Amino acid sequence: MRLSGILLPILFLFGCNPDSKEEIPSSTSLEGRWIMEAAARDGKLTETLKDSYFIFQNPDILINNINRKEISFKYNVLEDNRIEQRGALDLDYNIMKFQNDTLVLRTQIRDYDFQFLLIRDTLDVELRLNSE
C-alpha cells in the first residue's frame, strides 16, 4: 500500500537522517524498475517529476526519464553510498536510504537540491519472480 496525504511529505522530507549508516546497495540489489513516489526540489515537494522512474539493469546500465525523456546511462555504486551516473547527464546521487523496496536519493541538478523517494515497482518484481 502506498503512503499518501500528509504522512508522505513528513516522512520524505524529515525521515532521512544523512548521518545514519545505511546499507550500501549492490547493482544486483538495485536491479529492476523504481517508481518516483515523491520528489522535492530545495526542500519543497514538486510535481514536475511525477511519472518518473529509474530502471537499474545489471551490471551497469541505468535508464531514467527525469529529463522528461527516457535516457540510458552507465552507473556505478560507490563505497561512500553514492551512485555515479555517467552519460548525457553526469550526476552523483547520494543514497540517503536503501531498503528492499525503498530508495531515497539526493542530487544536485542545475544548482537545485533534489531528493527522490523511489519505490520498487511491485509489478516488475512479480514478473521477475514468474520468469525464474
- Domain chopping of the chain, boundaries: 20-131
Predicted confidence band at 14 (pLDDT cuts at 50, 70, 90)? very low
CATH number of 20-131: 2.40.128.20
Q: Mind listing the pLDDT tens digit for each residue in 35-67?
A: 999 999 999 999 999 999 999 998 899 999 998
Listing DSSP states for the chain in one string gives ----TTHHHHHHHHS--TTS-PPPPPHHHH-EEEEEEEEEETTEEESTTTT-EEEEETTTEEEE-TTSS-EEEEEEEETTTEEEEESSS-EEEEEEEEETTEEEEEEEETTEEEEEEEEE-HHHHHHHHHH-
Q: What is the pLDDT of residue 122?
A: 86
pTM of the model: 0.81
The pLDDT value given to residue 6: 44
